Amino acid sequence: MEEKQVKRRRIVLVPVPAQGHVTPIMQLGKALHLKGFSIIVVQTQYNRVSSSKDFSDFHFLTIPGSLTDSDLKNLGALPFMLKLNQVCEASFKHCLSQLLQEQGDDDIACVIYDEYMYFSQSAAMEFQLPSTALSATAFVCRSVLSKVNAESFLIDMKDPETQDKVFPGLDPLRYKDLPTSAFGPLESILKLYSNAVNIRTASAVIINSASCLESSSLAWLQRELQVPVYPLGPLHIAASAPSSLIEEDRSCIEWLDKQKPSSVLYISLGSLALMQIKDMLEMAWGLSNSNQPFLWVIRPGSVAGSEWRESLPEEFNKLVSERGYIVKWAPQMEGLSHPAVGGFWSHCGWNSTLESIGEGVPMICRPFTGDQRVNARYLESVWRSGVQLEGELDKGTVESSVKRLTVDEEGADMRKRAIDLKEKLEASVRSGGSSSSSLEDFVNSLKMKNF
């Protein structure tokens, strides 16, 4: 007997075209696809995810006339995001109306857009419109910052004494931990936040986190936002969906296979961080003096003024051949879950933070910008599974923190706490766990058109 094809309702996803934002939204797409929805990914012309075998059932659309790679180079990241939102609004509207006109009795259940792609909201007012945020605490910070008096806040931020004070209401975050330096001047950042924190129009907020990690920030959001908040992460555990925009060098996994258990420090600063040559050299000599094996991801273009690793001295390169390995881009999840990895030196992007905690790996936190400082502060003083490197980087501090993490008792304690968190996170995405129930609630509300 011929089986009747059941039409799936469609969900439109609008990711920010950057690795750290593409990764969780594609995982969310995978989770929702498993729940019976059909997924349409609407992308800009810059940094597109390709339709790999992992997403063979997804439909990909490109917004015509959106910005490109050279626009990003010419404008810089923050003006790029502001302009992207201006130029995409009309074409996204057109794109949605075409989707609606398509034949078929399946309909669009909702548009889920990254909070920085806020152009989506005005274009899709007629649909239910959840937005996605990454961490709850960073979302709280952006909400708070979107309402500060910009003038007096600017004065506070310039005062060195204020920097170490706890920001009222955001304990343990200090002024210097706030996400205020994201590739541009503070005024533009505050503007982006007030545009992005569109809590009055999004009909729900999805957070890639779990209540065992950020309960007080989630409670804040649930209290302050007038819409449902769904903490349904970590999405990389709930629904793995490889979506690397850069080619992964898998040879490092073979190298890890030859190392002793928990001995290797994995170092990666994510997809955007830019480091100074001086800091790279201090890191290199600190690693050298620590006597620990290391796997170092040096992304081409991630060191100011260098193509790749050419600034590393010959003597250090000799050491690399003895007890180190350098790649341009690694399969990070596979690396973190490898038994040889005992610690992670990270810039503390939210995905890297979740991935590390999710594998029970303690961290050396060296944040650069945006919400990375928020995450680093939480790793060190709330979850206590990381040690933060603050101030000028020098080889002595690098050496001692690598030893603290990989050799000392302190590192073993951090590892125990990280493993404890890993277990809690795994439990939260299992059937009946808080994140799994939150995903169920979200799906049910879509089915019942309950927004």
Residues in touch with ligand UDP (CB under 6 A): 19-20, 23, 244, 268, 270-272, 297, 329-330, 332-333, 349-352, 355
| CA–CA gap between residue 21 and residue 18 (Å, rounded) | 6
Count the Cβ atoms, other than its own, within 10 Å of residue 353.
Answer: 31
8 A C-beta contact, residue 204 and residue 10: no
- Our CB check for ligand UDP shows the closer of 129 and 360 to be 360
Copy the structure tokens of residue 28: 């969310």
Angle of CA points 327, 333, 339, to nearest 5°: 90
**Cα distance between residue 209 and residue 134, in whole Å:** 7
User: From the CB of 201, what's the least distance to ligand UDP, in Å?
Assistant: 25
State the nearest-atom distance from the C-beta of 341 to ligand UDP, in Å. 13
Within 8 A by CB and 6+ apart from 3, the residues are: none
- Compute the C-alpha angle 158/270/196, nearest 5°: 55
Q: Which is nearer to ligand UDP, 91 or 332 (CB)?
A: 332
Question: Which is nearer to ligand UDP, 215 or 244 (by Cβ)?
Answer: 244
Rounded to the nearest whole angstrom, what is the least distance from the CB of residue 371 to ligand UDP in the complex?
9
In the bound state with ligand UDP, the residue whose beta carbon lies nearer, of 387 and 443, is: 387
Cβ at position 272, least distance to ligand UDP in Å: 5
204 within 8 A of 451, measured Cβ to Cβ: yes
Contacts of 340 (CB under 8 A, 6+ apart): 256, 257, 259, 260, 261, 262, 263, 264
- Choice between 128 and 356, CB closer to ligand UDP: 356
Q: Which residue's Cβ lies closest to ligand UDP?
A: 20
User: In degrees rounded to 5, what are phi and psi of residue 388?
Assistant: -95, 135
- Are residues 330 and 271 in contact, defined by beta-carbon separation less than 8 angstroms? no
To ligand UDP, the closest distance from the beta carbon of 243 in angstroms equals 9
- Shortest CB 319 distance to ligand UDP, Å: 21
**Which structure tokens are listed for 277?**
């040559």
Question: Smallest distance, Å, CB 345 to ligand UDP?
Answer: 12
Of 177 and 355, nearer to ligand UDP (C-beta) is: 355
Residue 386's DSSP bridge partners are 363
Our CB check for ligand UDP shows the closer of 244 and 397 to be: 244
Identify which of residues 92 and 116 has a Cβ nearer to ligand UDP in the complex.
Answer: 116
Place of tokens 């060191």: 303
Task: Write out the two tokens for 254.
Answer: 């073979």
Closer to ligand UDP by Cβ: residue 69 or 413: 69
Nearer to ligand UDP, 113 or 127 (CB): 113
A 10 A CB-CB count for 423 gives 11
Which residue number, 116 or 118, has a Cβ lying nearer to ligand UDP?
116
Nearest partner of 85 among 212, 240, 195, judged by Cα? 195
Cβ contacts of residue 6 below 8 Å, gap of 6+? Answer: none
Q: What minimum distance in Å lies between the beta carbon of 116 and ligand UDP?
A: 12
Is the Cβ of residue 37 or residue 296 nearer to ligand UDP in the bound state? 296
In Å, how far from its chain's centre is CA 21?
6
Radius of gyration for the alpha carbons in the chain, expressed in angstroms and rounded: 22
Buried b (16+ CB within 10 A) or exposed e, 17-40: bbbbbbbbbbbbbbbbbebebbbb
H or E, element range at 425: helix 409-429
Which residues face 110 on adjacent strands? Answer: 11
Provide the minimum distance between the beta carbon of 352 and ligand UDP in the complex, in angstroms, as a whole number.
3
In the complex, the smallest distance separating the C-beta of residue 271 from ligand UDP, rounded to whole angstroms, is 3
Q: How far is the CB of 236 from ligand UDP (least distance, A)?
A: 7
CB of 233 to ligand UDP, least distance (A): 12
Are the C-beta atoms of residues 33 and 59 closer than 8 Å to each other?
Answer: no
